[in-house]
Amino acid sequence: MKCLIVAAGQGARLREKGELKPLIPIKGVPLIERVMTRVLLAGLDEFVIVSGYRGAELRRALDAFADREKVRLTHVVNDEWNRANGVSVHKAKAALGEPFILTMCDHLVDPEIFRSLAAAPPEPDTVTLAVDFKIDNPMHDPDDVTRVKCADGRIEHIGKVIRDFNAFDTGVFLCTPVMFAALEESQSNGDDSISGAMNVLARWGKARSFDIGDRLWIDVDDPVAFGKAESLLHAGRV
């Protein structure tokens, strides 16, 4: 199974740590390499990576990593990297004809989340999001994390500002190609985001949730989260 990683954005909120977010070292290792290593530990070894902002620099670094670790890597270029993240996913459509894992270049995730999600046979024409029901966990910023309303294994609503929610979006998905149809529908309605596509899938009855239980993850998107991630890494917790 392939793993699609979105790494096209500018990452301006982490600019004080480095100019190119995926290559910012965290405990001495570039952030995107830490993401890829966790995917490899879960048993997946083929990547599709979407780059955009300073893409040539990132692609050179990724090629060096792929050569060193002997993994297969396909590059996808997003020249509209200033748009929302769903555009990056849609750019990879031609490289992904079967079920795949989708994750972000700045989310450090317990490898067991990838492993368990990849091992779960997807229902045809559905997308499953790994969700965290521990919404009181101080590791996450409730004003920044994407909120999810789940019921009976289905996603009803997702968004940054929804008030009725019971879980957080971990940024890890098990996708079938229906994701691309949902992205196209969402974009036609003016929403370029992955969350927009998930809301389309929810309306279609095709959005599923996967409970990560006690497993840990963190979105490393600003200096505060960066510091938390360093502490987790130092303690060997993620």
| Residue 237 confidence (pLDDT) above 90 | no
Where does the chain show beta strands of DSSP type E? Answer: 2-7, 25-26, 29-30, 46-51, 72-77, 100-104, 107-109, 127-132, 147-151, 154-159, 167-175, 207-211, 217-219
pTM greater than 0.95 (yes/no): yes
User: Cα torsion for 42, 46, 50, 55, to the nearest 10°?
Assistant: 110
Q: Is the pLDDT of residue 124 over 90?
A: yes
Question: Which pLDDT belongs to residue 54?
Answer: 97
Confidence check: pLDDT of 100 > 90? yes
CB atoms within 10 A of CB 81: 21
Q: How many CB atoms lie within 10 A of CB 64?
A: 11
Look at residue 143 in the predicted model and tell me its pLDDT: 85
Distance CA 53, CA 81 (A): 6
The alpha-carbon radius of gyration of the chain (Å, integer) is: 16
Mean per-residue pLDDT over the chain, rounded: 96
- Give all domains of the chain, ordered by start, each with its CATH number: 2-234 (3.90.550.10)
- Write down the pLDDT at residue 121: 85
Q: What span, in angstroms and rounded, lies between the C-alpha atoms of 218 and 220?
A: 6
Q: What is the pLDDT of residue 65?
A: 97
Model confidence band, residue 50 (pLDDT cutoffs 50, 70, 90): very high
Give the confidence band of 73 by pLDDT, cuts at 50, 70, 90.
very high
Average pLDDT over residues 105-116: 97
Q: Which residues of 148-183 are buried (b: 16+ CB within 10 A; e: fewer)?
A: bbbeeeebbbbbeeeeebebbbbbbbbbbebbbbbb
Distance of CA 188 to the CA centre of its chain: 23
